[in-house]
Amino acid sequence: MIEFFVSAFIVYFVVIDPVGNAPIFLSITTHLNKRQKIRVALEGTFYATFIMLFFSLCGVWVLQYLKITLTAFRLAGGIILLLVALDMLTNKRQVRKEQGNDAMSNDENIAIFPLATPLLAGPAAITSVMVIASSETGNLQIVIGYGALGAVMILTSIILIVTGLCEDYINPRITSVFSRITGIILAGLSIQYIIDGFSALGII
């Protein structure tokens, strides 16, 4: 059970990428004071959690309605996460985030958009929560998976709050190095998803 929690925690932490999103959080909240930054961080992580819980609960029903098998979705999820990992390793993901949010920083409700979605609850995070929720596990492991998601979102809110309070001391190089390390971990996990999908099909 501990291994499942750790595995789910790592997946969620990597795809939500609170450390990589911290500099972007600062860029979209430059016009806010520290108290407002804290409020945006809390609201953004709350909305992102709600979005991912919605997809974890209703995502499987959507797949069944569209007649998409869980194995096919796991394979697709593994491929998507692998692409995200490659983007993280080449720093393309961070560049796209920064370019895409230059025009969003004046949005009145930045806690919902762009912070909650697409920065925190982006395609990779939504895919991950659906893949983990659709795993053929018992009810206890499903609860553990939700616990891992909750732990990551709490940690995310703490990281964003600390970033807002200590913005003068943030070193972009440190976040860049950390993003690449997590990218390597995500690449390995995504390959494992793909292997599991092929195993379910009897190919491996």
CA distance 153 to 179: 17
Which pLDDT score is estimated for 108? 46
CA distance 68 to 118: 24
Taken in order 65, 68, 70, 73, the sign of the CA dihedral is: negative
User: pTM to 2 decimals?
Assistant: 0.71
Query: Are 15 and 148 a contacting pair, CB within 8 Å?
Result: no
CA distance 28 to 38: 13
CA distance 123 to 120: 9
Please count the helices (runs of H) and the strands (runs of E) in the chain. 8, 0
Structure-block tokens of residue 176: 């860049």
CA distance 82 to 187: 5
Give the DSSP per-residue string, 61-116: HHHHHTT--HHHHHHHHHHHHHHHHHHHHHTHHHHHHHHHTTTTTT-TTTIIIIII
Average pLDDT along the chain, 204 residues, taken 10 residues at a time: 88 88 79 88 95 88 80 78 76 58 54 85 82 71 90 97 83 68 75 83 80
The domain locations on the chain are 2-201
Which pLDDT score is estimated for 43? 94
Query: Are 148 and 50 a contacting pair, CB within 8 Å?
Result: no
Which pLDDT score is estimated for 103? 46
Which pLDDT score is estimated for 106? 43
Structure-block tokens of residue 192: 């494992």
Query: Are 102 and 36 a contacting pair, CB within 8 Å?
Result: no
The one-letter amino acid code at 198 reads F
The one-letter amino acid code at 9 reads F
Structure-block tokens of residue 83: 């692409």
For residue 114, cis peptide bond before it (omega within 30 degrees of 0)? yes
Query: Are 41 and 25 a contacting pair, CB within 8 Å?
Result: yes
